[in-house]
Structures are given as C-alpha cells and as structure tokens.
Amino acid sequence: MAKTLGSERHKILIELLIAKREAAGLTQVELAAKLGEYQSFVARLESGQRRVDLVEFLELSELLRFDAVEVLKTIEKVPSP
C-alpha cells in the first residue's frame, strides 16, 4: 500500500475540507474551538501534515454541514497510484 499523506486523494480531501470550512464561514480558530482542539490541529490537517481519521471526518462533516458520503464518492473517483 502506498503512503497516503501527499497522495492525490489526500490533497483533494484537504482541498474539499478547506472549501467546506470556508463555505461555513469559519476560520481555523473557530473550527478548532468547535472541535475542542487548538488552531494548530486544524492547520496541520489543512496543510496535509496530518491524516484525517474516519471519526474526525464524520465530526467535520457534522460541524461543517456537508454530506460525508458525497465527499467520499468524489475522492473515490481519483485514481490511486
């Protein structure tokens, strides 16, 4: 299995999460507060330095009000190496 950090799918996931946060009108600081985390946690996610696990992804989808399944379908369409 290839590394996932920095993969095309990971990059697309990060782009989608940033777009969803911005569409929700939240800053990294505001999202971090809703997650009970520091701003640096969100910054590491959005910079691709950290993976997003499934439970975190589902929590993000609830907080940012997006359909997790639709986002996963979008990412699934990207070919893996």
Does the predicted TM-score (pTM) go above 0.85? yes
Beta carbons of 4 and 51 less than 8 angstroms apart: yes
Q: What is the pLDDT of residue 52?
A: 92
Tokens 């569409």, residue located:
23
1 falls in which pLDDT band (50, 70, 90)?
low
pLDDT tens per residue across span 51-77: 999 999 999 999 999 999 999 999 988
Neighbour-count burial of 11, counting CB atoms closer than 10 A to its CB (0-12 exposed, 13-18 middle, 19+ buried)? middle
pLDDT tens per residue across span 13-55: 999 999 999 999 999 999 999 999 999 999 999 999 999 999 9
Which structural domains are found in the chain, ordered by start? 8-76 (1.10.260.40)
